[in-house]
């Protein structure tokens, strides 16, 4: 069994160097605006496969009541993230010198790891960052695909859809070293990145990102989740490992990527992920209540006590190891170089989904850290769980300071502290290129700044915040899982908002699984149809679904009416239509356009509920809602 021993990341001194001033070109306003149909459905590729469908910057609106830095403009935040990315790319993204089609993230700038060049943790970070920054970086897709190929070239020996945890450059080749098994954090980020890529570039090109993401997600469930207790394990080596101590009851809070878990649930429909989510929240709250009630800090590792079934810091147990420590060091049960990531990982879930299950822990932690230190540069690199013992001589390490930016966003009382944290993490204040600024801190800083600037988005729309209890909740959940429709990146679905013609076209094409390039669009306003919708519109036109309905203009942003929806749905079902002189059976039959009546009657005869004759008005000009649209397109799959 291989022990994954994290190398010591040397933190930073208090000296602040001023980087040379760099000019930043602000992104065009046309890239800043999100199209009306943003949440319509699964991404589809355009004629130019490199065109990002959700280009940076995205300007997400997070959960109500959350905050962003208010002393800088949105444009300044975007420019800062873009600059940090450029410096990160320059320093860490490398082409495989033995295979020019592959890229990886160099992580050994500290020089502590011999000839090792990367780990799956770094690779996951790089893939997420690259997918998010498409639109700023024209090479993003090329780099991302190269990273995907590197991932596939280095599979775990225990599961081919997980990544071997470490690689080195030896004897003219990049090879797996220190074991060929996996570490769960890298695998989770790789799976999430592939979901991002599906929505960023579509999955109909050389790489089916959605299919590959599903493979990795399923592999994580199969090999890295405890099959009975549903806690996240350390890697795929755990289930097969023998000897003492057993690592099967162990979990690592830095892997508590709750938003990832919800994305995996939505992407696959596997209900076991909900059990993992529930277990993860329970661990966070139990540890907080019992071991860090005044600080909210979480330990690097927890262990399930068989006596009471509760997860506890590993320092609560004695370990039959040579060192007497659980796995890495005497600080395995403290807030150290693993758990320093928890404020970012856990708070991101709240920002996007609004789930308050860990809100008390985050609030306690924010209060503790902001009251203990007057400046980000004073934040310690490691704490005992009670916050009284300093674990390192170093202060102000980016890996420890940056995640607190994200957690500070959860409430307006943290505004001044958040502003100070933002300033501390700019390229000017702490340059990426500085010799003592290392991969770990620079990566976590960039990912945290992406979130804080409002540019972190959900690839599945994890619509948990506004569909609970809605009459169409089940239909919406199924449509999300099947890729027929997306929620919005901030975790909402907006079920009662009207659906646009472009959005409905994508829903139809996805539901019917239409393929091919579609027809050449002759609408006068074809150029105004957004890239994410244009292929679907072309497909439904080629399928004859729009015949006779729209005139010279498609008007993609216009809300779809009930009468128009009836015609499109009947055409999609290939129903036989009668004459326009029929009677629909609705109380406002006289108000229904003659061109829509045959479709409404045919759908009623087919048994589609909204179109069955009833003693109520049909309201032909009323806009159909997103929830109604999902219900209608879902009817296409029903006998």
Identify whether 185 is a catalytic site residue. yes
CA separation for the pair 382, 527 (Å, rounded)? 55
- Output the six-digit token pair for 527: 């150029």
- Output the six-digit token pair for 372: 């203990």
CA separation for the pair 106, 93 (Å, rounded)? 6
Hey, is 201 helix, strand or coil? Answer: helix
pLDDT score of 30: 33
Average pLDDT over residues 270-275: 96
pLDDT score of 489: 61
What secondary structure does DSSP assign to 313-334, as a single string? EGGGS---SSSSSSSS-TTTTS
- Output the six-digit token pair for 256: 């508590």
CA separation for the pair 375, 515 (Å, rounded)? 56
Per-chain mean pLDDT for the chain: 89
Hey, is 524 helix, strand or coil? Answer: coil
- Single out the catalytic residue among 161, 185, 187, 503: 185
Look at the block and give the residue holding tokens 């000296």: 15
CA separation for the pair 400, 378 (Å, rounded)? 11
pLDDT score of 316: 97
Structural domains in the chain plus CATH codes: 53-452 (1.50.10.10), 473-637 (no CATH)
> 143: closest CA among 192, 207, 95, 204?
95
Contact between residue 404 and residue 420 where contact means Cβ atoms under 8 Å apart = no
Give the range among 30-34, 146-150, 297-301, 419-423 with minimum mean pLDDT. 30-34
CA separation for the pair 84, 78 (Å, rounded)? 10
User: Max alpha carbon distance in the chain (Å)?
Assistant: 88
- pLDDT over 70 at 25, yes or no: no
**Exposed, middle or buried, 222 (CB in 10 Å: 0-12/13-18/19+)?**
middle
- Output the six-digit token pair for 114: 């011999």
Contact between residue 424 and residue 449 where contact means Cβ atoms under 8 Å apart = no
Q: Report the percent of the chain where pLDDT is more than 90.
A: 75
Hey, is 500 helix, strand or coil? Answer: strand
pLDDT score of 631: 92
Q: Report the percent of the chain where pLDDT is more than 70.
A: 90
* pTM exceeding 0.75: yes
Give the range among 8-17, 188-197, 229-238 with minimum mean pLDDT. 8-17
Contact between residue 255 and residue 184 where contact means Cβ atoms under 8 Å apart = yes
Buried/exposed 143-164: b ≥16 CB within 10 Å, e otherwise = bbbbbbbbbebbbbebbebbbb
Average pLDDT over residues 176-186: 97
CA separation for the pair 328, 563 (Å, rounded)? 65
Contacts with 73 (C-beta within 8 Å, 6 or more apart), sequence order = none
Contact between residue 254 and residue 331 where contact means Cβ atoms under 8 Å apart = no
Q: What angle do CA 254, 257, 261 make, to 5 degrees?
A: 145
CA separation for the pair 197, 203 (Å, rounded)? 8
Q: Which letter does DSSP use for residue 19 in this model? A: P
- Single out the catalytic residue among 80, 121, 176, 395: 121
- pLDDT over 80 at 638, yes or no: no
CA separation for the pair 360, 121 (Å, rounded)? 28
At residue 288 the predicted structure's pLDDT band, cuts being 50, 70 and 90, is: very high
Question: 116-119 and 173-176: which strand pairing?
Answer: unpaired
pLDDT score of 320: 92
pLDDT score of 171: 93
pLDDT score of 537: 95
Give the range among 238-252, 425-439, 457-471, 511-525 with minimum mean pLDDT. 457-471
pLDDT in tens, 355-368: 999 999 999 999 99
- Output the six-digit token pair for 20: 């040379």
CA separation for the pair 48, 215 (Å, rounded)? 27
Contact between residue 341 and residue 287 where contact means Cβ atoms under 8 Å apart = no
- pLDDT over 70 at 102, yes or no: yes
Average pLDDT over residues 571-580: 88
CA separation for the pair 529, 84 (Å, rounded)? 33
CA separation for the pair 393, 382 (Å, rounded)? 9
- pLDDT over 50 at 41, yes or no: no
Pick the more confident residue, 8 or 176.
Answer: 176
């Amino acid at each position: 069994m291989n022990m994954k021993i994290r190398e010591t990341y040397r933190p930073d001194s208090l000296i602040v160097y001023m980087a040379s001033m760099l000019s930043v070109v602000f992104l065009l306003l046309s890239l800043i605006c999100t199209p009306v149909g943003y949440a319509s459905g699964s991404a589809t590729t355009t004629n130019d496969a490199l065109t990002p469908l959700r280009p940076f910057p995205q300007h997400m609106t997070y959960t109500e009541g959350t905050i962003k830095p208010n002393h800088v403009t949105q444009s300044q935040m975007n420019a800062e993230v873009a600059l940090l990315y450029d410096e990160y790319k320059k320093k860490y993204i490398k082409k495989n010198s033995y295979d020019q089609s592959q890229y990886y993230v160099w992580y050994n700038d500290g020089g502590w790891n011999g000839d090792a060049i990367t780990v799956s943790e770094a690779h996951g970070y790089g893939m997420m960052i690259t997918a998010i920054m498409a639109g700023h970086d024209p090479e993003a897709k090329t780099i991302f695909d190269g990273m995907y190929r590197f991932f596939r070239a280095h599979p775990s020996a225990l599961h081919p859809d997980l990544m071997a945890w470490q690689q080195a450059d030896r004897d003219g080749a990049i090879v797996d070293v220190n074991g060929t098994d996996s570490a769960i954090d890298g695998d989770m980020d790789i799976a999430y990145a592939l979901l991002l890529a599906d929505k960023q570039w579509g999955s109909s090109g050389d790489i089916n990102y959605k299919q590959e993401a599903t493979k990795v997600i399923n592999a994580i469930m199969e090999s890295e989740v405890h099959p009975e207790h549903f806690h996240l394990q350390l890697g795929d080596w755990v289930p097969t490992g023998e000897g003492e101590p057993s690592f099967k009851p162990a979990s690592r809070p830095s892997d508590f990527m709750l938003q990832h878990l919800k994305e995996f649930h939505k992407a696959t429909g596997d209900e076991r992920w909900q059990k993992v989510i529930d277990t993860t929240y329970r661990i966070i709250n139990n540890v907080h209540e019992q071991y860090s009630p005044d600080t909210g800090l979480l330990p690097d590792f927890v262990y399930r006590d068989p006596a009471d079934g509760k997860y506890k810091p590993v320092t609560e147990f004695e370990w039959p190891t040579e060192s007497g420590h659980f796995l890495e060091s005497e600080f395995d049960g403290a807030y150290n170089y693993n758990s320093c990531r928890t404020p970012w990982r856990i708070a991101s879930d709240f920002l996007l989904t609004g789930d308050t299950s860990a809100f008390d822990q985050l609030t306690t932690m924010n209060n503790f850290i902001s009251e203990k230190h007057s400046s980000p540069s004073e934040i310690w690199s490691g704490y005992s769980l009670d916050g009284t013992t300093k674990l390192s001589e170093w202060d102000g390490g980016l890996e420890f300071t940056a995640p607190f930016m994200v957690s500070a966003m959860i409430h307006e009382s943290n505004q001044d502290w958040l502003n100070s944290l933002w300033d501390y993490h700019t390229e000017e204040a702490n340059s990426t290129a500085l010799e003592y600024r290392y991969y770990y801190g620079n990566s976590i800083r960039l990912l945290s700044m992406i979130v804080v600037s409002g540019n972190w988005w959900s690839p599945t729309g994890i619509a948990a915040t506004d569909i609970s209890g809605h009459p169409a909740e089940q239909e919406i959940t199924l449509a999300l899982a099947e890729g027929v429709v997306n929620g919005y990146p901030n975790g909402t679905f907006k079920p009662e908002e009207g659906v646009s013609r472009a959005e409905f076209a994508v829903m139809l094409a996805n539901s019917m699984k239409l393929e091919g390039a579609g027809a050449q669009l002759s609408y006068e306003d074809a150029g105004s149809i957004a890239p994410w919708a244009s292929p679907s519109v072309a497909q439904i036109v080629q399928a004859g679904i729009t015949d006779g309905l729209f005139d010279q203009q498609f008007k993609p942003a216009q809300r779809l009416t009930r009468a128009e929806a009836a015609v499109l749905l009947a055409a999609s079902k290939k129903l036989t239509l009668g004459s326009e002189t029929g009677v629909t059976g609705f109380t406002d039959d006289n108000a229904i356009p003659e061109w829509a009546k045959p479709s409404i009657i045919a759908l009623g005869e087919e048994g589609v509920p909204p179109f069955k004759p009833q003693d109520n008005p049909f309201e032909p000009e009323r806009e159909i809602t997103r929830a109604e649209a999902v219900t209608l397109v879902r009817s296409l799959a029903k006998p």
